[in-house]
Amino acid sequence: MIAVAVRQGSSIPRALQIIGAVSGTRLGDDMVHVASALNRGVEWNSAWSVVSPRGRQAENLEVLRNTLEPSWRHGVSPLLRIAAQVEQIDRDERQYIEREAAGLSVRLLMPMGLCFLPAFILIGVVPSIAAFAGG
């Protein structure tokens, strides 16, 4: 959404402010605080240190900060960096999903094996042994 706002001509602080206000999340509130600091003329690093997020929110803000910083400092368009960051996040999420799916198959196979093995022995092996022993 930041890319859309910037593509339509918004400045970085304005994009952060609008997207942050619309999102209605803690991350959005932090984006609004950063935008306000930048609009007051606070230096880039100081503006981002105004907020103190935790956990996943801190990671998201750090990604946003690192993505937009060259544009703020050097005046280049942030669109290419935003697109590259979106692709990187997409790749990371796909890898995470694939890893979890592989782990899920192992976790599902173990109980199934524990259920089917006794049934196989009782239905297939025991009658065969009984037939050979009896006859």
What is the tens place of the pLDDT at every residue in 26-67?
Answer: 889 999 999 999 999 999 999 998 888 787 888 889 999 999
Burial of 19 by CB count in 10 Å (0-12 exposed, 13-18 middle, 19+ buried)? buried
Domain boundaries, the chain: 1-93
Tokens representing 61 are 């803000």
What is the tens place of the pLDDT at every residue in 5-14?
Answer: 998 988 999 9
Cα(125)–Cα(92) distance, integer angstroms: 47
Q: Is the pLDDT of residue 99 over 90?
A: yes
Tokens representing 124 are 């297939």
Cα(89)–Cα(83) distance, integer angstroms: 10
Q: What percent of the chain is predicted at pLDDT more than 90?
A: 50
What is the tens place of the pLDDT at every residue in 81-97?
Answer: 999 999 999 999 999 99
